[in-house]
Chains A and B, each alone.
Chain A
Amino acid sequence: MIPVSFYRVFLIFLRIGNLTFGGGDPTMAALQSELVSTHRWLSPERYGLVYALARITPGTNLLAFCAGTAYELLGWGGAIVAVAAVTVPSAAVVVLLTAGYQTWKSNPLAMAAIGGTLAAAVGMMATSAWQLLRPQLAGGRRLRAVVVFGVSVLLSLRFGLSPIPVLGLAALVGFFWRVPATK
C-alpha cells in the first residue's frame, strides 16, 4: 500500500476535483474509488460517515466531502490542501472567463456570443431549481415539497421576504413536518 502524504493527497484531489465533469456525485464516486478501493486509506464506514455529513454541511457539499475525507487522512493540514486543490484552479479559470467578459463586452459579435451564454445561464438556474425539487416529489413527500416550494416562491415574490427568513422558516417546517425517507 502506498503511504498517504500531503503531496499524494494534493495530486489526487487536484486531478479528480478538476477533471471530473457531471457535478458533485460523480466526483465523490471517483474519490471513493481512489481513497477507499485503490489506496485503502479510508475505510468504507468512515467514507459513509463523511458522505452523510457532507450532505448536511452548509455550502458546497463536494468541498465539505473533500475537507472531511482529507481530514480523516491528514488532519487539518490535509483538509486545507484538499479544499484548495479542488477550488483554486477552477477559481482561476472563472476569473479569466470573467475578465474576458469585461474585455469583450464592447465588441458586438462577442456580445452576441455572450448574450447566448447569458440566456443559457437562465436555463441553468431553472435546471438547478428543478434538480433540487425533483427528488422530493416522490410518493409521500410530494405534498410537503409542493407546499414548501410554493410558499417560498410566494413569500419571496409576493411579500418581498428576504432569503434568510424564508430558509429559516423552511427549516422549522421541515423539523416538525417529517415525511417518509426515500433511501
Chain B
Amino acid sequence: MNVFLLYLLLLKATITSFSGLSSLPVVQHDLVEHRRVLTDRQLSAAVAAGRTAPGPNGSYIVSVGYFVAGIPGACAGCLAVMSPAFLIIFMLRYLGARAERRDVKSAIQAVTLAAAGLIVTSTLPLARDSITGPLPAAIAAGTFLFLTLTRRATIWVILAAALAGLLGALV
C-alpha cells in the first residue's frame, strides 16, 4: 500500500477520535474490512504493543502502520498520531473562550459515547479471533477487571497475560 495513502487513512482515524483507542473502529473499517491489508489478529497485536510501550495510548497506530508497510508505514503511523495535536494551536489563536460553549462540549461528549459503542462493535471480531477457550476468556476478563479497578500500569497486565498464555501451553 502507498505510504501516503496509508498516512491519510490513519489520519482519518486519528482526526475523528478524541482519545487513545477511539480511532480503532475507523482503522478496522478501512484497513481490515475494506482494504484487507491488516488482519484482526494483527490489530489485536497492535493494541497490545501500543499499550505495552510508554507514552500516549494512541501509539498502537504506529504498530498498525508497521504491519501494513514496514518502517515507512510506522513513520506514517507516527505522523498520523502527531498531526491532529497541532490543531490546538489554531484553536488557541482563534477559538479561545468559545471552546467553553455548552453546545460544543455536549457534541464532543456525544461523539465520545458513540466512540465507546463503536469500540464495542470493533472488539467483537477481535474477541472471536483471540478468545478460543477458557484461558483466553479468563485473561480478557481479568484484564478488564484489573484495568477498571486499579490504576496500575498496563505493562503488568501484558506481562501477566503473556506468562499465563505460556503456562497454559506448558501445562
Contacts and interface: CB of A to CB of B under 8 A. Distances in A.
Nearest to B130: A118
B8 to A, nearest CB: 14
Size category of the A interface is 35 or more
A84 interface: yes
Contacts of A170: 110-111, 113-114
Contacts of A109: 166, 169-170
A35 interface: no
Interface of B is mostly: helix
Interface of A is mostly: helix
Interface residues of B, number: 112
Contact of A119 (B12, B22, B91, B161): B161
Most buried by A among B85, B105, B169: B85
Nearest to B18: A58
A53 to B, nearest CB: 5
Interface in A96-118: 97-99, 101-102, 108-109, 112-118
A121 B19 contact: no
Contact of A120 (B22, B124, B158): B158
Contacts of B119: 125, 128-129, 132
Nearest to A147: B113
A173 interface: yes
A98 B55 contact: no
A168 B10 CA distance: 18
A166 to B, nearest CB: 5
Most buried by B among A23, A131, A149, A152: A152
B85 to A, nearest CB: 4
Closest 9 CB pairs of A and B: A116-B165, A174-B110, A123-B143, A90-B55, A59-B84, A152-B117, A112-B169, A170-B114, A120-B161
Given A101-B45, A152-B113, A177-B106, 9 more contacts: A21-B154, A53-B88, A56-B18, A115-B130, A116-B136, A119-B131, A121-B47, A125-B123, A170-B111
